[in-house]
Amino acid sequence: MIPIGPSRRNTWRVSADAAELMRPALQERRVDVAARPKRVAFDLARTAFIVIDMQNDFCHRDGWLASIGVDVEPARAPIAPLTALLPVLRGAGVPVVWVNWGSRPDRLNLSPALLHVYNGSGTGTGLGDALPATGSPVLQGGSWSAQVVDELAPDPRDIRVDKHRMSGFWDTPLDSILRNLRIETLLFAGVNLDQCVLHTLADANFAGFDTLLVEDCAATTNPRFCHDATILNIHQIFGFTLQSPDLAKAIAP
């Protein structure tokens, strides 16, 4: 019998005259960790780590947000804890998925309403427009603007998904990828917490995934009350929040 499937986690075994539809058993790997509003335990074997929008245009001092006067230092705050946590997750075999803005050069996957959000006057620098300092097109797939910041350069084993909405699930292969990996639990990180992180986390929860935010690995450039309201909503509606040192200790004590 020959294995056939999109990943080692999700394979049949087939021959010319038979097919075995039983997937490989995934040995449970229980992780018990301090969290809010209560302690949680989950199966690391069915968990993926989603990092959202840690890109030059949001986090680099020469990127798009900085060019329009936004203080990007809050968006850079997750870099240090992510640098420490990512090797622990990779070492434990947890898939790392980078979900980033990556619009088409012709902008045919962007609606007028979405373009208006980032260029309300029509005269500013919005999605796909060239940055004055670097000439890189804002959040265009394959550009410097859309790259993950150098400090967090993805590993070749990591998975990349381009999005062009606040949510990483709309019109992307993210859901299919996670289900082909037989994932049930999602850990979230990235920026902006109250925008793309929250909307992706909410859609994941609505789709039936268990959702947890790694709080110190997520941030927003918006006022503090936006952060606080997002954490409140996660606790009340979507799941749990935890801290990366507690997670790392639980995974690799």
Mean pLDDT by 10 residues, the chain (253 residues): 93 96 95 98 98 98 95 98 98 98 96 90 92 93 97 97 97 97 98 98 98 98 98 97 98 85
Of the residues 163, 194, 203, 210, only one is catalytic, namely 163
- What CATH number belongs to 27-251? 3.40.50.850
Identity of the residue numbered 120: G
Q: Is 163 a catalytic residue?
A: yes
Q: Is 38 a catalytic residue?
A: no
pLDDT at 132: 86
Of the residues 57, 59, 129, 196, only one is catalytic, namely 196
Q: Is residue 57 within 8 Å of 44, Cβ to Cβ?
A: no
Which candidate, 128, 81, 93, places its Cα nearest to that of 107?
A: 128
Rounded Cα distance between 56 and 160, Å, is 16
pLDDT at 139: 97
pLDDT at 142: 96
Q: Is residue 62 within 8 Å of 133, Cβ to Cβ?
A: yes
Q: Is 150 a catalytic residue?
A: no
pLDDT at 19: 97
pTM of this structure: 0.96
